[in-house]
Structure 1
């Protein structure tokens, strides 16, 4: 991405050109000269910009889900947001994190390989202190974790994986589970040192404590899923029809909805005076012939022809034909 000059730098440049400190012709000459950029094969960019943007959107959603979940779980102020998404060699990432920290190694079938989530001790112990009834203050010690601390932290990190699964479900249906918790990155070798990884850094605030949570996604783990991390793929998915589960649910809901069915035996016209004089036992002559089919309405729409009859000592009608839309039945 090209560097963008700030307004102060633009003003300084214009001032230098106007005072003669810089020569515009020399700038044009330098621009015309062939520029050679050194390419470092150890820092090969294997994720496209579109894929990096998609990863950023996924983990922004993850940060929102995590903020909501931990706010309810810890009952304190929690704010988590994505600060950066970078791709770099795995060795460089390992060197950049503290020597003693909380490293969560987890797998996410059907994806192959392992994913790393590094939680700064300040954040981890603030959550631990809050769960144990404290104010959420941090104790920066990870030389050794007690058995109780390990169990509680493991439960917290597994809760984070639940939200991680929810954030990724729009791309791939994963089933993440915690494989191990490590405290020294020097003893951790998940992929080769030169393997390209994407590191998503989450700025995390728990009460008065601030820290970082870094998610390391190796390229080899997401190699088969990368084509789905494009805007083109997401737009195609939006145009797809509902899946079979949705169709079945809609069909069952519609089929169980109540519907009134009415058989019309015939019609007749009476004056108000005749209607008021009707008594029990009177006979009303209908305009329906004995051999003419009856009309059957489903709701307010005339749908079938039928003939009257009897079924198990009850009056009934038998459907003889369906009235297609546009048929003349009146």
Structure 2
């Protein structure tokens, strides 16, 4: 689901989010291709804004293609392409049929070597890949994310790993986004991120300018720390966004552990937005392993909103291949 950077691989390992197992084929001495994905249906029932129960279902299945080729001077050229159903291929919370086919979810090319790597294509920005990915582990119900995250056309440079330290800088470009860019003449926005392995804690920091979201953006920043205590994986996240008119601050703590037949997850975060009452969101999740790369999950959320909006449960099936 995430691009192959040092930071993303470390996050995936810490989260244990059930990534699909791709089949890899050696085409020749210099070229390898891979095919993988997941069958991923889900169902949920949560309260709407009026406090009435509202059910929904969808299918977030994906098909992933990868390719890697040896290039000149010891460099490697790689491709990553992911297709997903548009709008979930299911009935939305309003009862509408959202079956609109499939679309390109992520697609990018990378050239890597001793200098680090350069990536261009459609991808989640650095705010998501370094910060919000840590709270994006549920299958059906989701926490409130930072309003600084976007999936756009990006051009990214990632440094090599300097003994447990690294950084990335990114130009976020217009187009390929669900939101309409602001008409202030901007054609790009700047993002930056860094990580440091301070054993036993890994620290992430990000900055996002947000120029393509709001002409008057003052940017956003995020901080995260990830560690393990005995058999429990812990992550703490803080984001402060001044991109939109109403500033947003989110502080959260998330924990997970294995119990023998699957995993247990519990997260809580405080969401504070200008001109609105702060609220505490809590989501609990339990998974049950049916087989290798196959599990089912049950989730319950309490969103601390008026009329108990957003409270409810969700179930999902993940079959990775």
Length-normalised TM-score, structure 1: 0.20
If asked which structure has higher relative contact order (CA below 8 Å, sep 6+), I would say: 1
Please state which structure has a larger fraction of its residues in helix. Answer: 1
Higher strand share: 2
